[in-house]
DNA sequence: TTGTAGGCGTTATCAG
DNA sequence: CTGATAACGCCTACAA
């Protein structure tokens, strides 16, 4: 391998000068710089990452900590974070963490110097990992939000805004009787996961503020629970004309099974999915109207916020909320029909 | 931060002894070891990753190189690789690579010493990245296969076996007229991607060996192409009673739209998906019969194969093929009905 | 603007 | 079995 010293020799300068041009950490005359640059590519020099990390105490590596759960697809998010990191000269390492390892592992991750900062996913309202990261004085950025947000950096989906917009859009079409479908994570390691909780809260608030009716269905990620949803919904909330669904599998199930029950979509029932994470909605038949989770923006935003912190721009906390992006489909329509039917029955 | 020297002082041994117990690289008396261990956890010592990497010339980091493409979900695979890596004391860094960066970036990744070895995804039959990795003498393992496999380590899905099994299972139900749906990647950076090519080849071979009929549909990942599939298929291969579908979105489209054309599933048409990468099949209505891609096994296998190479067990090439795992659904049935109808028409 | 020299925290070689 | 002591390759005051 070729080292800085060899470059220095060839360019007839000292090793520090090479360092200065490589990192441009100090001014260097155009001529010397030129000589160094030539030597560098004549020799094919690459600065050794590990040596740099050791000497500078900065590894230029970011860790992405996330719980290991089959059913979740973080792909867009993760790629965005990795891409953004790379653009800034950082690498992203994956740190899938079982919930029982939390307490111990996190601190040592930082103390071992292998990582400059941490991106934390699937944040819960009360999250032990956040506590640990604070204790370890590790720079970190949340993707998501804890309940307590004082002084912490986060990037999250604006569930409240998205919920409100979804209700607005449906209300404008005459809908007054809503159902909300959210994930039931109570029996999983993600119990306490904020998004469904925030969404439910906002949903209830909006519904009652507007004098609408609203039922809430919590659906676990088990196939049979998802399949049972359609009948449950029709039985327990028969007035419903519009479903807001934050549960990718459930929306698929609803759209594909409602017609078998004689309920036309969107003729009798409108369905809107929110915070969807895949491309599936566009391919359903009829195409699912939805608000897509801004996975790419979140991943990039989180990585960049973290890097900004690491580079010393301290300023106020980065607290960004990104609303979901509306995609028109064919599962939303006016409420008139079904309402009238029920009313006259 | 606490260093090895401090541990050594406290345990009243030399720094090298501490190193020996930490890595157990040399025999140490139980008593001394004990003292060192006590010192270590009294002080909360963690060995500095970067210093270790520099001195030993091994970063204990693996890179996962993959093309940046929205429509692909590598989540299971990636998590498996990361988990396996971690179990062996390695980290996994993500290296999303645009195809145009290929030539330059790959070599420097290794030369910079930031990475001990590489996992390569989405391999094409002729793959420039493989050439580069070889030139750089970087240890690497493919997830997938190039055409030329001499001396290469890889882990891949056994598409041939899976295709044969799928045909077998359907033939046993009386099906004789098949259609195969594969991804059309010709206009994408993944042109030359092996899986659809291998599958098509095997499909044609099996079909003709058995004297069946078989049509092949290549479907791009654009929503309208996927939506058009159903009608194309009915028009161009009207005798089809069984579809083998290696295209997640297309299977969804088929199952949801065929009934609208008066074609019952599986009454008139059986549908089997192969190499599916998500949990969606179980949630369709009717549940999609499929052979699931063994993402977890592949990820783990690839990581472990690479680590084995790095640790010096050289032996023969690791060349593992894993077949997809059958999941019974409700979209496959006997061929009788539709066959009879068409025959009598 | 450029050079000198002392770390950074480990590993590894070689004596004892 | 244990202990000095060079590397490892780069960064960064500090000096010139």
- Residue by residue, DSSP assigns A277-345 as -SSHHHHSSSPPEEEE--HHHHHHHHHHHHHHHHTT---S--EEEEPPEEE--SS---SHHHHHHHHH-
- Which of B86, B94, B113 is the closest to A92 by Cβ? B94
Q: Quick check: B257 and A75 CB within 8 A?
A: no
Q: How confident is the model at residue A175 (pLDDT cuts 50, 70, 90)?
A: very high
Contacts for B88 with CB less than 8 Å, ≥ 6 apart: B303, B304, B307
Is residue B124's pLDDT more than 80?
yes
Torsion of CA B228, B230, B235, B239, to 10 degrees: 160
Which of A45, A50, A68 would you mutate first to test chain B, the one with the most B CBs within 10 A?
A50
Top-confidence residue, A205 or A224: A205
pLDDT digits (tens, 9 = 90+) for B273-314: 999 887 778 777 788 999 999 999 999 999 999 999 999 777
What average pLDDT does range B238-265 have in this prediction? 92
pLDDT computed for residue A343 by the predictor: 44
Q: Which of A285, A287, A327, A329 to mutate to test binding with chain B, by most B CBs within 10 Å of its CB?
A: A285
Q: From chain B, pick out residues whose CB is under 8 angstroms from the CB of A257.
A: 285
Residue % of chain A over a pLDDT of 90: 74
Residues of chain B positioned with their CB less than 8 A from the CB of A256: 255-256, 284-285
Q: Please name the nucleotide lying closest to A27, CA to C1'.
A: C1
pLDDT at A68: 86
Give the model's pLDDT for residue A69: 79
B59 to chain A: closest CA residue: A50
Q: Does residue A144 surpass a pLDDT of 90?
A: yes
A188: closest CA of chain B, how far (Å): 17
**What is the per-residue pLDDT for A341?**
52
Residue B29: strand, helix, or coil: coil
Confidence of residue B103 (pLDDT cuts 50, 70, 90): low
A223 to B54: CB separation less than 8 angstroms, yes or no: no
Spatial contact of B213 and B239, defined as CB atoms under 8 Å apart: yes
| Contacting A residues, span 243-272, partner chain B, CB-CB under 8 Å | 249, 252-253, 255-257, 260
| pLDDT on residue A277 | 81
Min Cα–Cα distance to chain A from B95, Å: 7
Write out residues 197-236 of B within 8 Å (CB-CB) of A: 223, 226-227
According to the model, what pLDDT value does residue B60 have? 97
Q: Which of A79, A108, A219, A222 to mutate to test the interface with B (most CBs of B within 10 A)?
A: A79
Res. B233: pLDDT tops 90: yes
Give the model's confidence band at B222: pLDDT under 50 very low, under 70 low, under 90 confident, else very high: confident
Nucleotides of strand D within 7 Å of the protein's CB atoms: 1-5, 7-13
pLDDT digits (tens, 9 = 90+) for A2-33: 999 999 999 999 999 999 999 998 999 999 99
User: Is the pTM above the cut of 0.85?
Assistant: yes
Q: Is B345 within 8 Å of chain A by CB?
A: no
Strands A117-120 and A61-67, sheet pairing: parallel
- Number of alpha carbons in the 13 Å side-chain half-sphere of residue B153: 27
| B302 vs B257: which has the higher pLDDT | B302
Nearest-CB residue to A256 (from B1, B72, B285): B285
Distance between CA atoms of residues A94 and A91, nearest Å = 10
**CB-CB contact of A257 with A285 (8 Å):** no
pLDDT in tens, B37-86: 999 999 999 999 999 999 999 999 999 999 887 667 788 999 999 999 99
Chain A residues 104-123 with a CB less than 8 Å from chain B: 108, 111-114
Q: Which segment of A216-220, B15-19, B98-102, B116-120 scores lowest on mean pLDDT?
A: B98-102
Alpha carbon A230 to its chain's center: 28
- Nucleotides in C strand less than 7 A from protein CB: 1-13
What value does the mean pLDDT of chain A take? Answer: 91
């Amino acid at each position: 391998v070729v080292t800085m010293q060899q470059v220095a020799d060839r360019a007839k300068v000292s090793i520090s000068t090479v360092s200065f041009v490589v990192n441009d950490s100090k001014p260097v005359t155009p001529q010397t710089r030129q000589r160094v640059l030539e030597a560098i590519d004549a020799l094919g020099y690459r600065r050794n990452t590990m040596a740099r990390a050791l000497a500078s105490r900065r590894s230029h590596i970011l860790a992405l900590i996330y719980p290991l759960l089959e059913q979740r697809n973080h792909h867009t998010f993760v790629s965005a974070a990795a891409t953004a990191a790379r653009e800034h000269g950082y690498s992203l390492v994956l740190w899938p963490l079982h919930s029982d390892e939390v307490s111990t592992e996190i601190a040592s991750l930082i103390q071992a110097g292998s990582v400059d900062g941490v991106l934390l996913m699937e944040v819960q309202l009360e999250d032990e990992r956040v506590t640990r990261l604070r204790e370890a004085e590790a720079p970190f950025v949340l993707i998501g939000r804890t309940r307590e947000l004082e002084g912490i950096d986060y990037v999250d989906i604006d569930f409240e805004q998205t919920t409100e917009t979804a209700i607005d859009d449906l209300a404008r079409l005459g809908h007054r009787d809503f159902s909300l479908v959210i994930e039931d994570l109570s029996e999983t390691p993600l119990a306490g996961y904020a998004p469904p909780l925030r969404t439910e809260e906002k949903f209830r608030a909006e519904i009652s503020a507007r004098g609408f009716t609203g039922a809430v269905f919590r659906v676990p990620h088990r196939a049979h629970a998802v399949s049972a949803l359609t009948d449950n919904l029709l039985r327990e909330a028969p007035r419903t004309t519009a479903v807001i669904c934050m549960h990718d599998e459930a929306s698929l199930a609803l759209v594909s099974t409602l017609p078998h029950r004689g309920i036309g979509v969107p003729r009798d029932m409108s369905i809107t999915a929110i915070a969807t994470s895949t491309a599936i909605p566009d391919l359903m038949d009829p195409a699912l109207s939805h608000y897509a989770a801004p996975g790419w923006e979140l991943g990039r935003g989180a990585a960049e916020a973290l890097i900004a912190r690491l580079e010393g721009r301290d300023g106020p906390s980065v607290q960004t909320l990104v609303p979901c992006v509306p995609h028109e489909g064919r599962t939303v329509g006016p409420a008139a029909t079904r309402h009238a039917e029920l009313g006259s029955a």
